[in-house]
A and B are shown apart, each in its own frame.
Chain A
Amino acid sequence: MIVNEQVAVDHGLKKDEYAKICELLKRTPNITELGIFSAMWNEHCSYKSSRLHLKKLPTKGKKVIQGPGENAGVIDIEDNDAIVFKIESHNHPSFIEPYQGAATGVGGIMRDVFTMGARPIANLNSIHFGSPQHKKTKNLLRGVVHGIGGYGNCMGVPTIAGQTCFDSSYNGNILVNAMTLGLVKKDKIFYSKAAGLNKPVIYVGSKTGRDGIHGASMASASFDEKIEEKKPTVQVGDPFTEKLLLEACLELMAGESIIAIQDMGAAGLTSSSIEMASKGNLGIEINLNKVPCREAKMTPYEIMLSESQERMLIVLENGKEEEAKKIFDKWNLDFAVIGKTTKSKKIELYFDEEKVADIPVNTLVENSPMYDRKWKKAKLPKKNKIKKEDIKHLKIIDVLNKILANPNVCSKEWIWQQYDHTVMGDTIQKPGGDAGVVRVHGTDKAIAASVDSSAVYCWSHPLTGGKQVVCESFRNLISVGAKPIAITNCLNFGSPENEENMGEFVECVQGIGEASDYLKFPVVSGNVSFYNQTKDEGIKPTPAIGGVGLIKDYKNMITMDFKEVDNLVLVIGKTEGHIDQSLFARTILDQKNGPPPEVNLFNEKNNGETLLKLIDNNLIKSAHDVSLGGIITAVAKMCIKGKKGININKPKYLINEIEYLFAEDQGRYILEINKKDFKKVADILNKNAVHFDELGTIIENELYINDKTKVTIDELSTYNKSWLTNYMSK
């Protein structure tokens, strides 16, 4: 095939990008080379629109062993233990083929983690769907859930937490973000940097097939009506092979033979080989006839661009090939020496004794395009005034029931019951709480993890929204008694070529940066997914934040279920009555404008750290952060979980009762304490200048405000638990 500008454009490259390739090579690339450039230079692999802004994120900290730039981030959890973790998107493939798209998303992120030598110990996910009424939503949800479960369950890694949201902006572009945490010894972390000359380059895992060719390019384009034709670009997952690959890799890693290892993810053999060569400042030579192929007569182009799953590339020490091969033979996996490291600093590919590609590595990596895209700053919307006549007819209990049954608040048990969340025998906090918690096997330590997004806030004001998501992650970890350590982010946005969308990206990233810097909660890994749009319609900006924290003694973990009658319930953090962009405003008042709640980073940090002090002093019986639906929704969930009621005190607050109960002001938690500890708790809160309200007392099975405003916990529970099950069974 003759390569020209049109062929390059068909590969998703811009005309000036093609000109730059010709200039860098000082000749016209052949088709294989063009394929390699298109794979490396697309948005998904090159971060060409985002790199400039991502650089501003805080990525360092005392506990950070490895920040962004490797397969995943690594943090120190003491005693020579480290946690490797990352979140990644698989949005485009999941919309086209929900089961395989979601499954391979989970498979890919687990590979990123065990590539670094860590055994995966927990999976999480953040999934966003269109409106429940949209004709595609139900099938997409079912497919995605089956796919996530199908892969994670087979791998034997528990899925311990997640979030599911619905909003019509995802009608044409769902989001599937998968996160994995792995455990590794600090001195046994593996990296992707090749080193040494003439070292064997090894291919292990599944055979290479024609699936997923140009997957990364597909993920770098908007959708149109012909999207169904892209089905063949979706990879097909084989979790069984991945389980074998995991065990085989960990077995090999126990020895000393690996110099570098990299999984073949997006852009397969292309990006893995180039990444290793680039980091090691070396060249790599590959004989493509040696690559194990699933199908006959695959061309060099197809072999290099295939995104077949469950494959790894390894640079071994010389002379260790036999020893390594034995391990992969034992696990029935392909093992092939396909090339070697060279000093050429080029990627040189041979096929049928002919040289089919010859590209200097730096042209693909350092010289890849980087854009300073135009972007528009968002204005802070004007605050709405709530009119008395709009709310005076509302009955609190009716509103509460509606909110508890709202698709974004309701119980997601139908989903997480389909995920094995208890395998590995260390899950001490299951899905449905503020964060999932797993013990570090054989120790007293436990790791808490949560994943959050607040697309509505980000859409309304990206800077505030970006800050808020980080704070919410911080609060979720603290609510279970964990000290927050670091985050990973998955930045899901529309087209970077659209100034508004690009502005959302830039300002969300700025917000994330400010909050993570202030809270000492650095970003150690992540992923950007642009072009989440169909034709001209983009999604709401949706950065998803995966937070990880440490509980030093797992016996001190906190859960949100109310524990005991007669205990006191407090709200910490000040309630100003911010209703704009709250679930109450959006669903009850049908009012969709106005600013999101303000984020005060000082209060977030102070309130959170003070709560950790209370937990350290054994003063907290249960805790839950206040988020969607405000105080009363948070309290109702604690009642439902604990099968207990609450007698809410006669209001002393200055604002309207509805505003008090449903406002979504930030930095707040609900706490349950023993009556006898009240003075101690109040002293610590006062000493640290943390505002608190005495909300009520725990009683048997009723949420009681006054004789006219009361409801049984069973009724609340039914509203909360039935929406999703009913929806999916219709």
Chain B
Amino acid sequence: MKSSVITFPGSNCDRDMDVALKKFGFKNKMVWHADAELPKSDLVVLPGGFSYGDYLRCGSMASKSKIMQSVINFANSGGMVMGICNGFQILVETGLVPGVLLRNKYLEFICKNVFVKINDKKNKYFKNVNNEVLELHIAHNEGNYFCTNDQLKEIEDNNQIAINYCDENGKIEEKFNPNGSIKNIAGIFNKEKNVLGMMPHPERMIDTSLSGEDGSLFFKNLINNLK
């Protein structure tokens, strides 16, 4: 399986993603934002970080990078595109997934482990994951997902919510919502479910010595689903 991780100016989880993808068997290539063409890929990842310093709206400058036209074409032709954290912010800026990411409700950066409930398994990202709940890690300042009521209805009708913040038993309540996201949304798909944007970092949960191993589960499953 071939993957590509895009490096934007200010990306800082690109190496971590490269390490994680390789650990679980992907042949990964790092792709520079100013390149025009994507290498042949089964999966494209927009990594976390602070592209362009987040000085304008998070992700907005990066969404206009040269490489992004190829990424958008790739996604529109059914290619698997995953945006993590800042990558999720870039995805909403391209319009590949609906909604926006606002500043966290308590106006503070949050770095901690969270539990998320998998809402939909009829997709290549979560198909065959045995767990209902994953323990993942977040580290962001703008992860407060928001969309209009009409958009929300459409998202729900199409089952586009990928994961919701919850407790360890999968209970979805406001008190387990770290950032004020509407409906505790931690990640969403496009309509076709080949594009996934999410705030949690699975690449930081691939080792028992680190925060935990549920990220390993996610990647192992992902590569099997793509085979």
Segment at the interface with B among A10-18, A148-156, A182-190: A148-156
Contact A419 B16, CB 8 Å, known A240-B52, A240-B53: no
Bound complex: CA A343 to CA B107 (Å) = 55
Number of interface residues of A (CB under 8 A): 31
Question: Which residues in window 173-219 of B have CB below 8 A to A?
Answer: 201, 203-204, 206-207, 209-211
A residues near B12, Cβ cutoff 8 Å: 154-156, 243, 423
- Residue among A238, A241, A244, A417 having the largest count of chain B Cβ atoms under 10 Å: A417
**Chain B residue at minimum C-beta to C-beta distance from A557:** B209
A239 within 8 A of B: yes
Segment at the interface with B among A199-207, A424-432, A627-635, A708-716: A424-432
A420 within 8 A of B: yes
Nearest-Cβ distance from residue A571 to partner chain B, whole angstroms: 29
B50 within 8 A of A: yes
B residues near A149, Cβ cutoff 8 Å: 109
A331 within 8 A of B: yes
Bound complex: CA A553 to CA B209 (Å) = 12
**Chain A residue at minimum C-beta to C-beta distance from B204:** A422
B153 within 8 A of A: no
A475 within 8 A of B: no
B residues near A44, Cβ cutoff 8 Å: none
**Chain A residue at minimum C-beta to C-beta distance from B51:** A240
Q: Are A243's CB and B137's CB within 8 A?
A: no
Q: Are B50's CB and A425's CB within 8 A?
A: no
Bound complex: CA A554 to CA B210 (Å) = 11
B222 within 8 A of A: no
Contact A425 B111, CB 8 Å, known A154-B53, A331-B9, A555-B209: no
Bound complex: CA A416 to CA B111 (Å) = 8
**Chain B residue at minimum C-beta to C-beta distance from A240:** B53
Q: Are A153's CB and B15's CB within 8 A?
A: no
Question: Which residues in window 383-435 of A have CB below 8 A to B?
Answer: 416-428
Nearest-Cβ distance from residue A356 to partner chain B, whole angstroms: 35
Contact A425 B112, CB 8 Å, known A154-B50, A240-B53: no
**How extensive is the interface on chain B, given as a class?**
20 to 34
**Chain B residue at minimum C-beta to C-beta distance from A155:** B12
- Residue among A146, A149, A425, A554 having the largest count of chain B Cβ atoms under 10 Å: A425
Question: Which residues in window 20-67 of B have CB below 8 A to A?
Answer: 20, 48-50, 52-55
B81 within 8 A of A: no
B110 within 8 A of A: yes
A residues near B15, Cβ cutoff 8 Å: 424
A318 within 8 A of B: no
**Chain B residue at minimum C-beta to C-beta distance from A429:** B209
Question: Which residues in window 425-451 of A have CB below 8 A to B?
Answer: 425-428, 439
Bound complex: CA A439 to CA B19 (Å) = 14
- Residue among B52, B141, B201 having the largest count of chain A Cβ atoms under 10 Å: B141
Contact A418 B50, CB 8 Å, known A243-B12, A244-B10, A425-B204: no
A139 within 8 A of B: no
B108 within 8 A of A: yes
A residues near B211, Cβ cutoff 8 Å: 422
Q: Are B50's CB and A419's CB within 8 A?
A: no
Nearest-Cβ distance from residue B111 to partner chain A, whole angstroms: 5
B166 within 8 A of A: no
Question: Which residues in window 443-500 of A have CB below 8 A to B?
Answer: none
A332 within 8 A of B: yes
B13 within 8 A of A: yes
Contact A240 B55, CB 8 Å, known A418-B108, A423-B12: yes
Bound complex: CA A186 to CA B27 (Å) = 30
Q: Are A243's CB and B111's CB within 8 A?
A: no
Nearest-Cβ distance from residue B52 to partner chain A, whole angstroms: 7
A residues near B13, Cβ cutoff 8 Å: 156, 423
Contact A422 B139, CB 8 Å, known A149-B109, A244-B9, A555-B209: yes
Contact A422 B55, CB 8 Å, known A243-B12, A427-B210: no
A residues near B19, Cβ cutoff 8 Å: 425
Write out, one digit per residue, whether chain A residues 546-561 have a CB within 8 A of any chain B CB (1) or not (0).
0000000011000000
Contact A154 B210, CB 8 Å, known A240-B9, A422-B139, A425-B16: no
- Residue among B201, B203, B207, B210 having the largest count of chain A Cβ atoms under 10 Å: B210
Q: Return the contact of A154 from the options B54, B137, B206 (Cβ within 8 A).
A: B54
Q: Are A239's CB and B210's CB within 8 A?
A: no
Q: Return the contact of A422 from the options B9, B50, B54, B137 (Cβ within 8 A).
A: B137
Q: Are A418's CB and B109's CB within 8 A?
A: yes
B residues near A421, Cβ cutoff 8 Å: 111
Nearest-Cβ distance from residue A245 to partner chain B, whole angstroms: 11
B residues near A555, Cβ cutoff 8 Å: 209
B residues near A427, Cβ cutoff 8 Å: 210
A residues near B203, Cβ cutoff 8 Å: 425
The 7 closest A-B pairs by CB, nearest first: A156-B12, A240-B53, A154-B50, A425-B16, A420-B139, A418-B109, A428-B209
- A to B CB contacts below 8 Å, 10 in the list: A146-B108, A153-B141, A240-B9, A240-B52, A332-B9, A418-B110, A419-B109, A419-B111, A420-B111, A425-B206
